[in-house]
């Protein structure tokens, strides 16, 4: 018996030491977005003359699901075997050179022993917010529909700084607009005529402070704001507007000046992919000072934030109002559906009654703060998080149509 056991031990040892050593590489990933399964390709290389049998346990970064269930991989002798594995991103974010790798159990030729090695294979990946959501498609389609429905930009001569044409000067025209070269050529006074610029600036400003850390139906409020900002960026790009973004909490985290077209959207998207809420008090004065210094051109400045009551939001109201008259401020505040439900309930017990009273008081304080903001000249959209994206795109289209921007 003892001899048999010792033999078995030796066989296990020998078998494990004879197990194949393999190499693994990962092909560069295409972009990933939340809710849309992607695929990653590994290339397993077996340089030995025997088939390699592996039991593979993959460890991915948290944003890609963390530790994966084990799987078997077989690699023929002296060959490179590609393996395609689905990747379902769990949440948006950026992972560079950190977590990731394999625990490989290479099984020996007798199947008695296995040799375990850890292979680090760090990920370099960005997971974007849901890009092709149904709502996004709907809002872009809506934007296109409205644009194609015969709504043409109204030429407003005399406003703006976009050169339109030359014409003869008449009394009352601004002397600064006289084109002296044209006047010399034509021997009469010629003035430049301008029209309002059609390409406008849209600047997305995301408050990532403590008010955006709260969750609604298991999703952080900031994620709803990110989705709304993304859809607005797409809609603005569809209308040839320049799009930029700023995020801030206790300091400015990201600033991307408004840019045109796909490039602008891509840079906004890069910021939206990695922005995370922080449990800190937002520094509104610092953020708006920074904004005023960096963005002097008139812009629709869309602030995604939340308010509690008038006094708690005094700094926000005072600072967002300073954007006027140079910019057009639009504040998007996210309602709390649970608070709305608590205020709307018909109380049957004293506990319900107290809950209802507290909810109503909070809602009243919030309405007061929003009213204060509106009186300061800020356009306010106060919606439930689920409706934020749709509401902000609709408002943008409305402002464009009316030429308010």
Partner 1 sequence: MNLQPLLLPSAAIAGFVALWYALGSVAGILWTPRALLIGGLLSLAAGGASM
Q: How far is CA 67 from CA 41, 56, 61, 63, 117, in A?
A: 17, 11, 8, 11, 16
Angle at 24 between CA 21 and CA 25, to 5 degrees: 160
Nearer to partner 1 (CB atom), residue 107 or residue 226: 107
Which of 1, 134, 149, 175 touches partner 1 by CB under 8 A?
1
Applying CB under 8 A, which of residues 34, 57, 113, 366 lies at the interface with partner 1?
113
Complex with partner 1: residue 17 or 25, whichever CB lies closer:
17
Q: Residue 102 Cβ, how far from partner 1 at the closest point, in Å?
A: 13
317, containing H or E segment: helix 314-321
DSSP 199: S
Per-residue binding string, partner 1, 114-143, x by CB under 8 A, is xxxx--------------------------
- C-beta closer to partner 1: residue 18 or 343: 18
Task: Choose between 31 and 112: whose C-beta lies nearer to partner 1.
Answer: 112
End-to-end CA, the chain: 90
Query: How big is the chain, counted in residues?
Result: 405
Spell out, one character per residue from 63 to 102, where the chain touches partner 1: x when CB under 8 A holds, - when not: ----------------------------------------
Between β-strands 93-96 and 124-128, what pairing exists: parallel, antiparallel or unpaired? antiparallel
Residue 5 within binding range of partner 1, rule CB under 8 A:
yes
- Dump strand ranges (E) for 21-78: 23-26, 32-33, 38-46, 52-59, 71-75
**Among 105, 179, 207, 306, contact with partner 1 (rule: CB under 8 A):** 105
Min CB(6)–partner 1 separation in Å: 11
Q: Using the structure block, give the residue that is written with the tokens 């005072």.
A: 318
CA distances from 277 to 38, 212, 226, 334, 374 (A): 26, 6, 11, 15, 26
Question: Between 350-375 and 337-344, two packed helices, what is the crossing angle to 10 degrees?
Answer: 120
**Min CB(106)–partner 1 separation in Å:** 9
Give the burial class of 189: count Cβ atoms within 10 A of its Cβ; 0-12 exposed, 13-18 middle, 19 or more buried. Answer: middle
| CB closer to partner 1 out of 105 and 241 | 105
Q: Is 112 in the site for partner 1 (CB under 8 A)?
A: yes
Tell me, by CB under 8 A, how many residues bind partner 1.
20
The rounded Cα 327 to chain-centroid distance in angstroms is 23
Tell which positions 325-354 bind partner 1, by CB under 8 A.
Answer: none
Give the Cβ contact number of residue 263 at 10 Å.
12
Residue corresponding to tokens 């339109």: 164
Stretch that binds partner 1, among 15-23, 131-139, 283-291, 347-355 (CB under 8 A): 15-23
Cβ neighbors of 111 (< 8 A, separation 6 or more) are: 15, 53
Q: How far is the CB of 111 from partner 1 (least distance, A)?
A: 5
> What is the rounded CA–CA span in Å between residue 334 and residue 341?
15
- Among 82, 111, 171, 325, indicate the residue that binds partner 1 (CB under 8 A): 111
Which residue, 12 or 315, is less far from partner 1 as judged by CB? 12
Using CB under 8 A as the binding rule, whether residue 12 contacts partner 1 is answered as yes
Min. distance of Cβ 3 from partner 1 in angstroms? 10
- State the nearest-atom distance from the C-beta of 208 to partner 1, in Å: 43
Out of 10, 17, 74, 338, the residue judged to bind partner 1 by CB under 8 A: 17
Between CA 304 and CA 296 the distance in angstroms is 20
Contact residues for partner 1, defined by CB under 8 A = 1, 4-5, 8, 11-13, 15-17, 105, 107-108, 111-117
């Amino acid at each position: 018996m003892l001899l048999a056991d010792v033999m078995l031990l030796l066989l296990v040892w020998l078998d494990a030491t004879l197990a194949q050593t393999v190499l693994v590489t990962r092909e560069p990933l295409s972009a990933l977005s939340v809710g849309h399964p992607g695929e990653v390709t590994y290339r397993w290389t077996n340089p030995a003359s025997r088939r390699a049998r592996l039991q593979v346990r993959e460890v991915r970064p948290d944003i890609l699901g963390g530790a994966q269930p084990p799987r078997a991989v077989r690699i023929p002798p002296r060959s490179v075997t590609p393996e395609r594995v689905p990747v379902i991103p769990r949440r948006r974010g950026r992972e560079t050179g950190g977590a990731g790798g394999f625990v490989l159990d290479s099984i020996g030729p007798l199947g008695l022993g296995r040799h375990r090695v850890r292979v680090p294979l760090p990920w370099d990946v960005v997971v974007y917010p849901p890009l092709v959501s149904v709502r996004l498609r709907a809002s872009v389609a809506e934007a296109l529909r409205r644009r194609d429905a015969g709504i043409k930009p109204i030429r407003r001569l005399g406003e703006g700084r976009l050169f339109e044409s030359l014409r003869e000067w008449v009394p009352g025209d601004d002397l600064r607009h006289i084109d002296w070269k044209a006047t010399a050529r034509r021997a009469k006074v010629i003035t430049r005529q301008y029209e309002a610029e059609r390409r406008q600036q849209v600047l997305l400003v995301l408050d990532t402070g403590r008010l955006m850390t709260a969750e609604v139906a298991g999703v952080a409020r900031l994620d709803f704001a990110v989705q709304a900002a993304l859809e607005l960026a797409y809609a603005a790009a569809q209308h040839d507007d320049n799009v930029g973004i700023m995020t801030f909490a206790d300091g400015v985290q990201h600033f991307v000046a408004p840019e045109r077209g796909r490039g602008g959207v891509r840079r906004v998207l890069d910021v939206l992919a990695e922005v995370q809420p922080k449990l800190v008090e937002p520094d509104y004065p610092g953020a708006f000072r920074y904004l005023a210094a960096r963005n002097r051109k008139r812009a629709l400045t869309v602030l995604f934030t939340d308010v509690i009551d008038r006094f708690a939001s005094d700094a926000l109201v005072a600072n967002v109002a300073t954007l006027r008259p140079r910019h057009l401020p639009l504040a998007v505040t996210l309602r709390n559906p649970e608070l709305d439900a608590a205020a709307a309930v018909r109380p049957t017990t004293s506990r319900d009654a107290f809950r209802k009273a507290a909810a109503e008081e909070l809602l009243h304080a919030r309405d007061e703060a929003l009213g204060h903001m509106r009186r300061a000249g800020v356009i306010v959209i106060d919606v439930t998080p689920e409706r934020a994206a749709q509401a902000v795109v609709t408002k943008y289209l409305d402002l464009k149509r009316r030429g308010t921007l």
